[in-house]
Structure 1
């Protein structure tokens, strides 16, 4: 009798291991499929389950398997698939019979009908397991990509240690949460979690650090420059002043206050 991998099976206490609910276990060494009922392995499990007084569909429902799950060994399933495909290609009648279904599949109508029919229906356990495995793999991939981006950002700013980077950029240089997150290529939420992890307190809202003031001034300069279509707002303001523009006119053009315009004209 085939041995079922312990991680996918349950011990009945009688020395026989059975696949867990919602899992179809294959023995790749013998190219067979293991029965949930008796624990033995067969090439054609769908035919075998009749010995347990079940149809293949009833077996799938009873043990939480996908309704379209093949209950055959991989080699047998492949043989059957090739045989059906050859018969389909050789029969114009079969091709005509399935033409409507192919058109529905291409248009997406088949998927819409499937989901509509499934409304309110409980998914098989196997589908839940497959979905959770896929989501978990996607999250791990995204986490690795985020870590890679952060590592590259650390190197670009001359750091090899994350804790050192956080203390230097946020605590010592007093960059804002937004600026520090941008420099490290992470989201603000993750940055706050990292600061807590390294024991670095987050400055209270409204704290007016020198770095914060510089950051806001830089953003204001960029916004004003974009509004008037220049890259150097101070040079633009001095040029317009030399041409005779008043502070009030320049204030209206840039959308900034008169004192702000005066300070940029005097900047060197």
Structure 2
């Protein structure tokens, strides 16, 4: 479906933030993934406020979410050997999921295991097909019972506590060469994508306001105060000021 077309009455329209728990993404992460994988995701079909609060067809998002890597949306390494099992580095035994084995047999947490063997904090301890099955089951359950989202949110720890735990988990592996190399490569991919997404969004807002481009909008509102020009275009006053300070190409 192309932007501007009227979606079928049976379609459920959701914002990106509303879609994140349905697809299994952390809050705010789906936007980054969409920017990095532009060819994979459908285009928005409507918006609640002009140029903002874009809406997507939920069925199309679910289909795109399942279509990547056989349905697994996570960008973590697969974590399993070719036969689908994960080897315990303590005893050499092999499992589909190491978490229960580590706790029951070796009496260590996943974080302690990763630290002992110098594994990145993001290293998965579960076989790819097992993660896929859990992810699919979770998506199906939430799709059938949307009220589960609120129950999950109510059970979540405060954001400050989650942030503290995340920082603590990463601190032991941040200096590992493999982690630093991965983050450096990720930054090289993500920053240009984010910058391009911002430029595209501004161009779309300018066209929606009746201008040929953002540059055209700035030029045609140059006689207005920054705040008035911002309201005319549909952007923030600081954006107008930055564009006015740019040197002509």
TM-score using structure 2 length: 0.36
| Max Rg structure | 1
More helix by share: 1
